[in-house]
Every structure is written in structure tokens, then in C-alpha cells.
Chain A
């Protein structure tokens, strides 16, 4: 392709550029998690980041009721250290996961980009003696993010995951959403 043709491509609007960058970032995040590259996943979070999985969809603050998970960076680090251990009981055998991210929206703000996306994670752990044919399960919902755009590119300052099953009795979920 010649330079001349390249110049003729219409420029993306700022909104479309942002949405495309955020989409790529969220797809990369899902890819790191599917690949169990948990330390690289954690590196997507800023130092002061928090990660929240509320129980009720109308919860507005992590401290207004119990949550499935509300963790600041040190707890996320401990979560990742645990996941990386060779002999973690609920990952023996390990989960295989397939995450699909879609419907990405991004809104620029003064300092924080607010993004949201739908996600579906299909998880499978083959437990050979289980006889109920439940060889995979689906966890799905919406993830909202606060992102900053710094020298290292996009980073997560907060992440909220609203599972559509958040008020149901959940069975153990060991891998991050």
C-alpha cells in the first residue's frame, strides 16, 4: 500500500479512537486472564486501584453492604500470589476459561476514562469423578472501569463487576472475573 492511499483513509473521531483503544485494552485483559498470566494482569492495575464485585446491583459503595469481593491492591496481590502457587486446592486441576468481552463503551472524563463492557466467562474444570454432566459453567455480567491514560498507556484505577447471578448462591469462583 502506497503512502498516498494511506493518507486518504478518513481519520477516526476521538470517540471512536478511544473506544477502539479501550476495547483492545479490555480484550488484552481477558486474554491475560485466560492465559493465567495473573501477574501481568495485576500490572494493568494502578497502585491505588480497587476491585469490587458487589452483591446487589443497586449497591453504590463497597462499604454499604457485604460484597463478593472488595479488594485494594495488597489484597489483589495476595490473591494473585495464591493463584500462582503450584498446589492450590481449588485449582487442582486448574480451570480452563474462555472470556468474551463485548459491547464496550468508553466516556472520557477530566482525569478518568469511564468504560463498561459486557462479559461472558465459560469455565471448565474436569473433575473426573463428578457424575452430573456439569462440565462447564457460565459467569456473565457487566464490568465497569475507571481507567487512566498515563505514560504506560491505559491502567485500571477501579473495576466493578456486576454478575447477573450476584444475588444467587454462588459456588466457589477461584479465578478472577
Chain B
């Protein structure tokens, strides 16, 4: 709930160095986000391994909107709005399965895997101008698959997926390149968590290196107490290392790079768990990767050390630890995060075990680390919802670009440059056509 009525011009809510707290809590702003940001961006909806055969389907969300991903009889992957075109009822009720026909539970309108309406009751009672062909499932206007990951876009025109991703495409490569067979598959049952807070908090938190030493201080200390007790044996429990990495000194984060995209609100920062969290990548895995790509290339692939990439506004990528998350904004004050652990095809089982361990600890609502974040998101949301007119600074590291490269910039990993970058894109996306025209004139 918000108590202030929002100015219609979002440009008044975002400054270069601060944002107005109502952007997190105002339902009107949320509706604008759904229409103009989630309605026009490329949104991660799933992975082709979820629909391996003709008729295989999985439900997902395009931002807030429920969608149905189906592999057609022709092998093509399609993304439909998960609603019957008759009365708008939910069409596919189960989260996943295999079916050659999709029958609405209300009146039995039946569609094939390409979304064509094939049957309905009492067809003879419809007038002559009623054509089945006009009532197929509404498909999402644009779908693009990159290295198995399915992205969908509710706008018929605009930049293509590769343009949208720009340099951040390389973070998807960083994940899939690690598979000796050059392919991954995602876990069947994903891990989900929710919080009563705004989706943007996830995007502002995951590249925020400075919250770790404070918000997760207790977790880091608990892990280091146990680690000290275990001695050498601690190395067999890398999740302890993950927890302890949160307590690294600020200078160690300052030494890393934060990389922001020049177009789009995307970003990533360099790996900070590298030293204390080593995935189980023994010789067997290296041999498998080297056999497929050559030793030099295998070394190059494994040396990439990006901690987490944010592909704004819908997904987060831990290539090195094979965890991918979709962020679903459900309401201004409710967010669901769906996390997949990815199996690198051709890699030994130990690599997947390591990915699962990471995914659980980084994404579960029961995690000894994530419960800190979820508590903070919810508490911040309640506070922002009760206060009128608070400007929240996003000025850390302003004006301190390290290097300017083609399509991206480097900063210190302690900078809030990625938040400023998100809001440049956000503000641009949320403006009306009229405001865009005014700006152009």
C-alpha cells in the first residue's frame, strides 16, 4: 500500500543519484512496469530441456503473466498465454507434463500443440462467420532461444534478443560453455521462494557486495566457527566457504570489477568466492571438458570467474555455479524467485552435486544465508510503504568508471553503478510514447 498518489511522470521519481521510495510500493508504478518494462523486454521463461519431446509442456510466467511453453508436434517450442480463448479460463492446470491436446476444463475447447483450436462443443450453433482458425491460443509475439534458454517478448517489435543481451550474452556462454557436450539441462522441479516485497530489491541486492559483510555477518561467523573446529576436514564442505565469503573485507570487493551494460540494465561482478568456494571440478571433469574443447580452451572456460550476472529485469545467472533464477514480479509487494540448478551434460555427477549444493544455499527459503536477505527485503518494503516521500541515495561510486569498453563499462565492485544503470533503463522504458516524443523534439 502506498499513501502518496504518484506523479504520472516517472522521470520525477528517479534522479541520477537517488530514487523515490514509492517506486517500490506504488501499485500504479507496478502496472506501468508490467506494461512498459516487462511488456517490452526479453524475459527468461524457461529452458528447452523442460520440453524435450513433442507435446511436453511446462507452465511459467512472462513477468507476471502465466504462460504455457509447449514443444509442438513439429518440434518447435512455442510460448502461449495460458488461457482458453473462450472465457479466458486457465487452460493448462498442471505445472508440467506431456499432452498432444490441451482441453479447457470449463467447456472443453481443445487445442493442439501448435495452439490451433481443434474442437469445441456444439459447433453447429455458431454463426457461419465463426472460424476455429480465429480462436487459436494467443501466442507471445516473439520467442527466441539462446543456447537452450527460452526468452519471450510481449512486444511484436523492438530490439532482437542478441541486441537486448549485448555483452551479457557472454554470461550465458559462461554457463553453457562449461558443459563438455555443449548443452545443459535444468532441474525438473525448481526451487521457489517468495517475499512480500518488490522485485527490484532482488536486482539491487545481488550485485551489492557491501551488504554481505553486514547482513550475512552472523552466517559467516557461524560457518567460520564450525570450519575452525573441523580443520582440514572443512574443505569437504564448500558451503561453509560460501557462507564465510560474505565476511571478506571491503578491500577485497573493491579489487573486483563490476561490469555494467551500456544498453539495458544488465550487470555482473567478478567472482569473489573463487578462493574459498571451489566447485568439485576434479580431474575427471577437466579431462571431459578438455577432450571436447582442447586443453587450452578448457582452461580458458574454467578461468572465467563472474559471480552473478543480472539480465534485467527478469533473470540472474551464476554460470560458474550453474544456478539460474527467474524473478517473477507478482505484485508491487510480492515477488517469486524460481531457481534452477543446471546439469552440465557430459560432466561427471560430482559437478551437478556441486551445482545443487550451491543452488540450495543461494536460493532456498530455508537457506542460512537467504533468510537474511528475505527478512531485509520484507522489512524494507514495510518501511517504504509507510513513509511518504523518502529519497534513497544510489550514489556510491558515482563518477568513478574504471574503463570504458565496447558496449560495457567497468567499475569497482563496491559501486552502485549497476543500480544507477538499472534506473536509467527503467526510467526510459516506463515513459509514455508521448514523453518519448517530447524528449526527441
Contacts and interface: CB of A to CB of B under 8 A. Distances in A.
Interface in B161-215: 187-196, 215
Interface stretch (A73-81, A96-104, A112-120, A150-158): A73-81
Q: Chain A binding site: helix, strand, loop or mixed by DSSP?
A: loop
B341 A172 contact: no
A172 B370 contact: yes
Interface residues of B, number: 58
B237 A66 contact: no
A82 B219 contact: yes
A60 interface: no
Contacts of B338: 169
Contact of B363 (A66, A129, A177): A66
Contacts of B225: 78, 81
Given A127-B382, A172-B193, A56 B218 contact: no
Interface string A140-169: 000000000000000000000000000111
Contact of A75 (B196, B239, B370, B372): B239
B356 interface: yes
Q: Chain B binding site: helix, strand, loop or mixed by DSSP?
A: helix
A66 B365 contact: no
B188 A174 contact: no
Interface centre among A69, A80, A132, by most B CB within 10 Å?
Answer: A69
B110 interface: no
Contact of A70 (B188, B189, B243, B360): B360
Contact of A130 (B233, B356, B370, B382): B382
A67 B362 CA distance: 11
Contact of A66 (B190, B370, B382, B386): B190
A11 interface: no
5 contacts: A68-B365, A89-B375, A127-B379, A129-B386, A173-B366
Given A88-B218, A171-B374, A171-B378, 16 more contacts: A56-B189, A63-B349, A66-B187, A66-B191, A66-B360, A66-B364, A69-B367, A70-B356, A70-B360, A74-B230, A90-B374, A127-B382, A132-B196, A167-B192, A169-B365, A172-B378
